[in-house]
Structure 1
Amino acid sequence: MIKKNPPHLPLRFFRWFCHPKLRDSIEGDLMELYEERKVKGGKLKADIIFIKDVLLLCRPGIIRPTDGYQNLNTYGMYKNYFKISLRQLVKNKTFAAINISVLTLGFSCFILLALYLHDELSFDRFHADAEKIYRIIQHEQQENGTIRSVSSVAPALGKEAREQFQEVEDMCRLSAFGRVTLGNDPQTRTHERALSADPNFFTFFNFPLIEGDPKTVLQNSDAIVISESIKEKYFGEGPALGKQIWSGYMRQGKPVYLTVDGVMKDFPKNSHLQISLLFSDATWNVQYNDYAQYVNTDWVDTEYTTYLKLKPQSDVALLTAKIKNLVKSNYPADREFKSNFELQPLQEIHTETEQFQTAADEFNAHNIKPV
């Protein structure tokens, strides 16, 4: 039998600081190493190395907890807690039912509120440049002193702002086209609400196309982009790209047929824009004489909902002042200019839209709020 006689004090110190769960196995290893070293190098050398090993073992993970170590089986304790709670519930049924009902109602309200807030705060945040996009709001004083706030501005403003102001990276405009009659079959023709858009609409925003190229759609006159639902309604499940559909318009005595330039996914519910039919803005040019000149020179009519994409670190307040000065300098001399402007962040439109009249809503009077 091997005699185990390492230094007494270091061994006691080890037994004091070592975690009880680890003590036996580590102490056994220390003893074996000590005996081997004593045989090979003598007791003095083995004692020195033993002391060194003990000191090296004094580290987190091996040191026992400062509040002591208790190896308790808590299963029985929790089992008794459960039994007592169950007995109390059975004994006080009315009180327990009230408490459980109130607790359930509270949790349900919290979950519903959290889901509602999550949905509200998710609006328009799926666009890649959402934080850089702003909508121009115009506050116009009326003759009776009230303020008419609209989210549609003069046609020429967006283009001139992009060309003149270094803060503006890009712009995109929408205008109400009205309700159009669609359908090649007279028996199934229906009315659809339509908007017109600049050609860069699908590169400015991130609404995905199922068919068509976002860089080339809406370039030509009589070109349309339809939603997936509209496509299935009029063309079925097959591809619709390049197909034509009667629009209900007549031009020089001939019916106007629209060409499907693209098919877009139905807009998500958490978008302030809900569009199923988009006309190319170029369609206006052939439908109405001198329309191109009107778009580039008119500073009075509030026809276009205009979005600006700003460059990083742009001063929004300074740009707003520049926009006001730009419109004022181009306003007809025979008319009094009584408007102020605001740049509304895209991500705030959903929660702050009800007070604004917008061209994209076909001038819905319910969206006008006198101030």
Structure 2
Amino acid sequence: MYSLINIIGLAIGIAGFILITIFIKTELAFDTFHPNAERIYRPVEIQKPRGVDIQHVAVTMAPLAEALKSDFPEIEQVTRVMRSGNVFVRKGEMAFYEDNSACTDPSFFDLFKVEFIHGNPETALNGPHDVILNREIAEKFFPNQNPLGETLELEFWFGKNEYKVTGVIENYPENSHLVFSLLANIDQLDAEYSDMMNNWDSNFLATYVLLKEGTYAAQLEEKFPAFLDRHLNESSWNTGLEMYLQPLTEIHLFSDHIRFQTYNNNQGSIDYIYIFAAIALFILLIACINFMNLSTARSVKRAREVGIRKVMGSQRKELIAQFLGESIIISFIALILAVGLAQTAIPFVNEVSGRDLVLGEQNYAFLIPVLIGVAILTGIFAGIYPAFFLSAFRPIETLKAQFNIGPKGRSAQMRKLLVVTQFTIAIALIICTGIVINQMDYIRNKNLGFNREQLMYLPIRGEEESNSIEQLKSTLAENPQIISAAASSGQTGVSGNQSTRTVAGTNGEVSLMMRISYVDFDLINTMEMELVDGRNFSREFATDTSQAVIINETAVRELGWENPIGMQFEREDAQPMTVIGVVKDFQYNKMTRKIEPLFMNIDPERYNYLMIRVRPENITQTLDFIEQTWTNLLPGHPYEYGFMDEYFERMYRAEQNMGRLFGGFSTLAILVACLGLVGLVTFTAEQRTKEIGIRKILGATVPNVIWLLSKEFLLLVTIALAVSAPIAGWLMRRWLENFVEHAGLNGWIFLLAGVIALAIALLSVSFQAIRTALANPVKTLRYE
């Protein structure tokens, strides 16, 4: 039984270690498959505009790439990547929206590894209306054929044209921060958007540079201040701008602080890597502690063996080698079982982590030596204390049974310490899981400043859909199940755009960096926002369409205005804009971001979403009506929709995944710890069988005996709770600091974690305790 507990405990610990190791390896491998990955960097700007915190942004100006290449001979090649959002793709009667589309330079293929199925990377993007498709899109529009030379109608945000297919590439690997299905030439923007493409004040694309061999990024960064001084306009809002180079291989894990990333597929966090690496080691440690505890606890069974072997001439080092060898063999047996457990658990880990982890051939070369090393080290670590403990027995004492391994012996004290260590780790993980779940629940139920329930959004793409907004709203209004509809530039009523607005502030003219939102007359009412001052946009005022603006409370505070109504801003085109209202601050982004100054005005040419508030009754029929209305007005245009509450759920997917993984690995940790408890209480019951028999003859009841065997272990778990609570509290307080608003460290979570741990521990020891308490004392004392 004890060997089985040891093997199962070690197997679970090693399986957890395997799963986390594969997860970490996958995360660290992002973008490393490019041949020149170590020489590729992404320029990141440090902006210091008034109105928002100092921010690191990954979007740069279009002319930056060429300026870098011409000014710095250390740079071998540059390329730009502009995310194009959902592109409307049509071929005859077939039409789809493709989300992962991008515009880039022909030099893209000089930096990044792309596997061409058809076409030539040297010429694939030479024409302004050339397009490259990935395998999936090519199969969708041109099944079982070579599409080179075929045409597609593409409608980007900047216009609609016929494009010639000049290349087909393999689907881009998921372990890349860049993932796209369609690539077009960015030079096509030069014709109609030359001002934007040459503007050093307009940040909207990512730039990548390939450094020459032997060039160090730090040396180049030293020259950036002078470079920026040469190219930036003195009147630019970018005054004071700084810039540095972020290594390509760090983009996936080291970009938590970077905003406006054109691309960062499945963004990870190095903090989570550290956390899960620690969890992997902790689970393995708990399993090793089980082995130590059970081995030392059962030392009485082997004490006479040690004594006899020493009398026969065995040296202590020979005994140590034997016990360590046995430990390593058990570890390898556990390893074989662990691989099977890990393979079984991988689908669960993939589901909660959002990754595609595999325990397959691509990982064997890495895993086999690692796991062999882990098995050996685990065997040594788990067996070293028992080996030295057993080999230290004196032959005379062991043969006379005069050694002390009882409840007050030194080995017993060590076992207690190890049990406390086990449960300290397990309870800390339970507390962390509870705090993550509580924070997610807080976010889910937090008043965001608008009502996200029963609020739909429909993406609006292209000129034809944009021109149909008013007709869509008019038709939808005929259905009594639809409360209202409104158009907006952003999915949450606010777009991702930032811009500087010049205002008449309290200290003369100042510029304030503001989040820009283009809305229609009905958005504030549809989203059920609250106006705290002034009035809403109204069709009764003709100037509202071009000269009125509503700002949020944060903007008022930043500007120091006591009476904001009637104050004026100046738009980019010098058009004066008058403040007509102040909207209560509402959360349009993750709670890890502060609410920024907001500027809302009407501009029908900038609408990207139609927001629809529906009644909860007959929701299926209402959705069918909305879809039919869309299909009637926009035949051939794909219909897509989403709900705002689900959108905010997805926004916190990484944190939710972390909570689920915490929960899963907490369960593993507590399971392994409880396996150890079962073994220890079984051993204790064996050691005290005759004592318990005497107590029962003297009148002890079954509950008395159960308490006798359980109280020590419950005390150890209570001590572990006292130790783990401040540690977990300190760690999770730091995690909660990432959120502008959070639920705090609620005491009930710590209490609940303690109750769960004590209940599980009690269940673990109860079975054997009850079994021992019910044993017939006559049988146990028969031979005394």
| TM superposition score normalised by structure 1 | 0.67
The separation in 2 between residues aligned to 1:260 and 1:354, in whole angstroms, is 37
The separation in 2 between residues aligned to 1:171 and 1:250, in whole angstroms, is 25
Matched, 1:320 2:221: yes
Matched, 1:110 2:17: yes
Confirm or deny: 8 A CA contact 2:148 2:167 kept in the other structure.
Answer: yes
Q: Residue type of the partner of 2:262?
A: A
Correspondence for 2:171 among 266, 274, 296: 266
Correspondence for 2:205 among 304, 318, 328: 304
In terms of fraction of residues, the more helix-rich structure is 2
Correspondence for 2:262 among 359, 367, 371: 359
Q: Residue type of the partner of 2:222?
A: A
In the other structure, the counterpart of 2:98 is 192
In the other structure, the counterpart of 1:63 is none
- Greater CA deviation, 160-169 or 355-364? 355-364
Q: Residue type of the partner of 1:355?
A: H
- Unpaired runs of at least 5, structure 1: 1-92
The separation in 2 between residues aligned to 1:367 and 1:138, in whole angstroms, is 23
Q: Residue type of the partner of 1:275?
A: F
The separation in 2 between residues aligned to 1:107 and 1:183, in whole angstroms, is 52
Confirm or deny: 8 A CA contact 1:135 1:307 kept in the other structure.
Answer: yes
CA separation of 1:110 and 1:306: change in aligned 2, threshold 3 A: same
In the other structure, the counterpart of 1:349 is 251
Confirm or deny: 8 A CA contact 2:133 2:183 kept in the other structure.
Answer: yes
Q: Deviations over 1:288-328 (max 9, x none)?
A: 25x2x643x32111122011111122232231232333223
Matched, 1:206 2:124: no
* CA apart distance, 1:367: 12
1:239-254 to structure 2, matched below 5 A, reads: 239-248=146-155
Greater length-normalized contact order (CA 8 Å, ≥ 6 residues apart) = 1
* CA apart distance, 1:368: 8.9
CA separation of 1:226 and 1:354: change in aligned 2, threshold 3 A: farther
Q: Residue type of the partner of 2:204?
A: E
Q: Deviations over 1:42-80 (max 9, x none)?
A: xxxxxxxxxxxxxxxxxxxxxxxxxxxxxxxxxxxxxxx
Confirm or deny: 8 A CA contact 1:218 1:281 kept in the other structure.
Answer: no
CA separation of 1:202 and 1:366: change in aligned 2, threshold 3 A: farther
* CA apart distance, 1:265: 0.6
Confirm or deny: 8 A CA contact 1:195 1:360 kept in the other structure.
Answer: no
Q: Residue type of the partner of 1:305?
A: A
Secondary structure of the residue aligned to 2:144 is coil
CA separation of 1:217 and 1:335: change in aligned 2, threshold 3 A: same
Q: Deviations over 1:1-23 (max 9, x none)?
A: xxxxxxxxxxxxxxxxxxxxxxx
The separation in 1 between residues aligned to 2:229 and 2:106, in whole angstroms, is 28
Q: Deviations over 1:114-161 (max 9, x none)?
A: 211221221111111111111111111131351221111111111111
Correspondence for 1:284 among 172, 189, 192: 189
Matched, 1:329 2:230: yes
CA separation of 1:250 and 1:244: change in aligned 2, threshold 3 A: farther
Aligned residues: CA RMSD: 2.6
Q: Residue type of the partner of 2:176?
A: S
CA separation of 1:250 and 1:306: change in aligned 2, threshold 3 A: closer
Confirm or deny: 8 A CA contact 1:209 1:262 kept in the other structure.
Answer: yes
The separation in 1 between residues aligned to 2:33 and 2:67, in whole angstroms, is 28
Q: Residue type of the partner of 2:183?
A: L
The separation in 1 between residues aligned to 2:591 and 2:107, in whole angstroms, is 27
CA separation of 1:368 and 1:124: change in aligned 2, threshold 3 A: farther
Matched, 1:236 2:236: no
Confirm or deny: 8 A CA contact 1:154 1:304 kept in the other structure.
Answer: yes
| TM superposition score normalised by structure 2 | 0.33
Aligned-pair identity (%): 27
Matched, 1:179 2:81: no
Q: Residue type of the partner of 1:189?
A: A
Q: Deviations over 1:175-226 (max 9, x none)?
A: 122321112234x311112210001112221111111101111111111111
Q: Residue type of the partner of 2:166?
A: D
Q: Residue type of the partner of 1:191?
A: Y
Confirm or deny: 8 A CA contact 1:135 1:306 kept in the other structure.
Answer: yes
* CA apart distance, 1:174: 0.4
> What is the aligned length?
271
CA separation of 1:367 and 1:233: change in aligned 2, threshold 3 A: farther
The separation in 2 between residues aligned to 1:121 and 1:359, in whole angstroms, is 21
Secondary structure of the residue aligned to 1:262 is strand
Confirm or deny: 8 A CA contact 1:149 1:369 kept in the other structure.
Answer: no
Confirm or deny: 8 A CA contact 1:151 1:359 kept in the other structure.
Answer: yes
In the other structure, the counterpart of 2:5 is 98
Moved over 3 A (4+): 248-252, 360-371
Q: Residue type of the partner of 2:74?
A: E
The separation in 2 between residues aligned to 1:270 and 1:200, in whole angstroms, is 22
Confirm or deny: 8 A CA contact 2:196 2:202 kept in the other structure.
Answer: no
* CA apart distance, 1:369: 5.6
